[in-house]
Amino acid sequence: MSDTPADTPAETKPSFRGDVTVELLKHSASDTDVLWAARVSTAGEQSLEEVSKDPERSKGLINFLMRDRHGSPFEHNSMTFFISAPIFVFREFMRHRVGWCVAGDTEITLESESGTLSRRTIADLHRLWHLDAGDRPQQVRCYDEETLTARRARIVDVIESGVKPLIRIVTAAGRALRATVDHAVLTPDGWRKAGELTTGDAVLAEATERNAAPDVIVSIADDGEEMTYDLSVEGPWHNFLADGIVVHNSYNEESGRYRNLQPVFYVPAEDRKLVQQGRPGKYEFVPGSAAQQELTGRAMRDSYLQAYEAYQRMLAEGVAREVARAVLPVGLFSSMYATCNARSLMHFLGLRTQHEQAKVPSFPQREIEMVGERMEEHWAKLMPLTHAAFNANGRIAP
Ligand SMILES: Cc1cc2nc3c(=O)[nH]c(=O)nc-3n(C[C@H](O)[C@H](O)[C@H](O)COP(=O)(O)OP(=O)(O)OC[C@H]3O[C@@H](n4cnc5c(N)ncnc54)[C@H](O)[C@@H]3O)c2cc1C
């Protein structure tokens, strides 16, 4: 559903839509990834041979892992989605600490407004942002990924991501990064997952005062399990320095500070059920009358147009975007990149979709469910055996 009023200039013409967009941008994910990860415990290096075998033969193993909740073999894969949805969907989405993470003792390079650099551990930053009252650091050093020159980015959030297995990457210059295998690290060949790197590969690290330069890896080893963290930083460059090495953050959302927000607003499509019946914890949605449908569409459009007109007026008078955006509603469309592995995605789907095979029912908001359903369609094509085992075992993430 999409329509646009005709009497406004093209670049600022509000439009309305009732659907969401989910594109699979890149992936390294197959059922075989689960098999080699599971078999390494008994077959050692021979498990690499699994990659070339027919995964159908190992359907039983995948089902066993899912049923008995052996979760880590489902983490050795990665999917990056581009999602376009109303802001209220992202507010719910960001509660899922899925994605790439580093260990708590990882030192993050902060940069003050005057350009002074300092370091704090990411566990400390998390404490300052979420547990202690008082000053919390606001900006990190990041890099322009094309020129490798230093930039500054504002921290959006510091996220605790749960206990996860880590690897330790040591470089020739003596840097040591402890990260999950799926954390993206910047290399001279672009972004690569930490777990894909080998000795002799280079990562990009802080070099001179203003530039990043290659630093060769001299060792990589498993490094136990512990609490991990991630930073979300504003664009256009969504990276930061972790122990001096340039790494990526897991969620990148469109910034309302650096660009004019496009006037695309959410109005429920006709099949969106509008009326909730029942009590909290036991309710259902029903379509609603024609009058309720008409009122919802009209009230939303009127209010969006009024809010956007106020936003435009402030921008025209020179008010900063980061101030003017306060009038915009949560029905405004935004977009983001989200990266996750199959284990995290299954957890997300278990909570954010309703399904007849789910052993534990959930009651998600329909709009985030629409995003989840589209992510699931992409994932099911990449990992059909894992997807089937997820359904067969009640859609409970291992
Ligand atoms: C239907 C529905 C209604 C909701 N309503 C509300 C609401 O009214 N208000 C509200 O505030 N939120 C609400 N939420 C959000 C909800 O409370 C969770 O924050 C969100 O679903 C993310 O779940 P998660 O923490 O399990 O996921 P993730 O953050 O992706 O974590 C995955 C798993 O990793 C482990 N983990 C991650 N971090 C830690 C940690 N720090 N310590 C220990 N284990 C960890 C846990 O096992 C966790 O289940 C709602 C969610 C749903 C699905």
DSSP letters for 144-192: -TTT-BEEEEEEEEEEEEEEEEEEEEEETTS-EEEE-TT-EEEETTEEE
CATH number of domain containing 165: 2.170.16.10
Residue 233 inside a domain? The answer is yes
- Given pLDDT bands bounded at 50, 70 and 90, which one contains residue 26? confident
Q: Summarize pLDDT for 46-74 with one digit per residue, the tens.
A: 555 655 566 667 889 999 999 999 998 99
User: Which of 309, 330, 351 is the endpoint of a domain?
Assistant: 330
Q: Is 160 in the pocket of ligand 1 (CB under 6 A)?
A: yes
Residue 142 inside a domain? The answer is yes
Residue 236 inside a domain? The answer is yes
* Domain limits for position 181: 102-249
- Given pLDDT bands bounded at 50, 70 and 90, which one contains residue 7? very low
What does the mean pLDDT of the chain come to? 87
Residue 16 inside a domain? The answer is no
Residue 397 inside a domain? The answer is no
Q: Is 226 in the pocket of ligand 1 (CB under 6 A)?
A: no
Alpha carbons 252 and 238: distance in angstroms, whole number = 7
Between residues 154 and 375, the one the model is more confident about? 375
Which among 145-149, 190-194, 391-395 has the top mean pLDDT?
391-395
Nearest CA residue ID for atom 39, ligand 1: 162
Alpha carbons 181 and 160: distance in angstroms, whole number = 17
Shared domain check, 47 and 175: no
CATH number of domain containing 69: 3.30.1360.170
Shared domain check, 137 and 195: yes
Report which DSSP code applies to 300: H
Shared domain check, 222 and 282: no
Q: Is 347 in the pocket of ligand 1 (CB under 6 A)?
A: yes
- Given pLDDT bands bounded at 50, 70 and 90, which one contains residue 177? very high
Nearest CA residue ID for atom 6, ligand 1: 92
Distance (Å) from CA 158 to ligand 1 centroid: 16
ipTM over 0.85: yes
Q: Summarize pLDDT for 244-265 with one digit per residue, the tens.
A: 999 988 766 666 665 677 899 9
Shared domain check, 184 and 232: yes
Q: How many structural domains are present in the chain?
A: 3
What is the average pLDDT across 257-275? 86
Residue 6 inside a domain? The answer is no
Distance (Å) from CA 57 to ligand 1 centroid: 35
User: Which of 330, 345, 363 is the endpoint of a domain?
Assistant: 330
Nearest CA residue ID for atom 24, ligand 1: 96
Q: Is 259 in the pocket of ligand 1 (CB under 6 A)?
A: no
Shared domain check, 55 and 152: no
Shared domain check, 110 and 245: yes
Between residues 286 and 161, the one the model is more confident about? 286
Our answer to whether residue 352 is catalytic in this structure is yes
Which entry of 39, 178, 352, 374 is annotated as an active-site residue? 352
Residue 7 inside a domain? The answer is no
Residue 217 inside a domain? The answer is yes
Shared domain check, 183 and 138: yes
Shared domain check, 342 and 322: no
Alpha carbons 77 and 206: distance in angstroms, whole number = 28
